[in-house]
Structure 1
Amino acid sequence: MVRNITLSNGKEVEVECLSCALTSGLIEPDGGVVFESEYFHAHQDVAYPIKGLIIIASKRHVTCLDELTDDEKIDYIKIMSKIRQAQREVLGIEYVYYFYNEDTTHHFHTWMVPRYEWMYEFGRSVESVRPVLLHARNNMNNIENIQYVMEAINSITKKLNE
């Protein structure tokens, strides 16, 4: 099933699977690939312009954690830990919310959503994340914020690939 996806830069793309399009290079996420391993692809979220909002997506088209091989599971934890450390060291991100859902049309992927002070006006629980994301998409898609996000992508990518 082909879906229309609106990217954070406002472009609309038609894809059957966004993760397939991203991990294969058909769609280039803003700032490019943040980190890549044999099994996973990490990039700035393509829909929400929030500094340090990283997606870790499996390269294989699976949807559930228990479908990962043992090698993929080990790689996943190592990559997530490495990215989290870089978020803290390079971007000063103190807290992160992690999400993955199995009823998606994309591959297995995890959202690493940083928490910034401005986000607390939407609440302090997991329920605040959706309003935060929508606020970012609708109100932070400006040149100044996109530049801020791109600088963060470059900084975190540099750290992760040292």
Structure 2
Amino acid sequence: MREITLSNGKTVEVECLSCAITSGLLEPDGGVVIETEYFHAHQDVAYPIKGLIILASKRHIKCFDELSEAEKFDYINILTKIRKAQREILGIEYVYYFYNEDTTHHFHTWMVPRYEWMYEFGRSVESVRPTLLHARNEMNDEENLKEVMAAINALTKELNK
């Protein structure tokens, strides 16, 4: 078991944070954006950027090549559906996609929107980490969090019609 501090300041003891979230043991702030048989999407509000989504596999695997054929099909379909909603509902023009295999969590993809204010940190993939840290450290005010929660609600409503 590991002790993990969540974005809301609560501490939990779990073996795997992703397993706890995708199984419903823990509910992320803002709730589940969309869920399929194989995947679970939510926003990590520790990084309060409107439309930032984490798409996590429900099965405890680490690598893309471990996905079954059904999971691969579901993954690309749900990823596409989320991206379409980001564009149509939130007006997000560009998104960076990240997934890494050396994580302590299991297979998940970050969908990080690209907003104009982010260009002060650069235009390449190298700018994403400073952008995320800026959001976490400088954008956790009440007004921005309300906007983030409204975006979560709008995406949830659109994706679960």
TM over 0.5: yes
* Alignment match, 1:116: 115
Q: Cα RMSD (Å) of the superposition?
A: 1.2
For residues 36-75 of structure 1, the aligned pairs below 5 Å read 36-75=35-74
The equivalent residue for 1:2 is 2
Alignment of 1:1-162 (within 5 A): 2-7=2-7, 9-162=8-161
CA distance in 2, matches of 1:13, 1:149: 24
SS of structure 1 residue aligned to 2:111: strand
Question: Retained in 2: the 8 A contact 1:5–1:15?
Answer: no
SS in 2 for 1:113: strand
Runs of 4+ aligned residues of structure 1 deviating over 2 Å after TM superposition are: 3-6, 9-16
Deviation at 1:143, TM superposition (A): 0.8
When structure 1 is superposed on structure 2, of 69-78 and 133-142 the one drifting more is: 133-142
Contact 1:35 1:157 (C-alpha < 8 Å) held by counterparts: yes
- What are structure 1's unaligned runs of at least 5 residues? none
Q: Closer, same or farther in 2 for the Cα pair 1:50/1:12, shift >3 Å?
A: farther
Distance 1:17 1:46 in 2: 18
SS of the residue corresponding to residue 33 of structure 1 reads coil
Q: Which residue identity does 1:73 align to in structure 2? A: K
Q: CA deviation at 1:107?
A: 1.3
Greater shift, 46-55 or 104-113, is seen at 46-55
**Preserved CA contact (<8 Å) 1:93 1:115:** yes
Equivalent position SS for 2:34: strand
**Unmatched runs of 5 consecutive residues or more in structure 2:** none
Q: What is the TM-score when the length of structure 1 is the normalising length?
A: 0.95
Partner amino acid, structure 2, of 1:42: A
Q: Distance in 2 between matches of 1:155 and 1:69?
A: 31
Distance in 1 between residues matched to 2:119 and 2:26, nearest whole Å: 32
DSSP-derived class of the 1:158 partner: helix
Output the CA distance in 2 between the equivalents of 1:123 and 1:27: 35
Q: CA deviation at 1:5?
A: 3.5
Task: Tell me by how many angstroms 1:62 deviates.
Answer: 0.2
Percentage identity across aligned positions?
Answer: 78
Question: What is the rounded CA distance, in whole Å, between the counterparts of 1:69 and 1:46 in structure 2?
Answer: 30
Secondary structure at the aligned position of 1:107 is classed as coil
Compute the displacement of 1:3 (Å): 4.2
Q: How many residues align?
A: 161
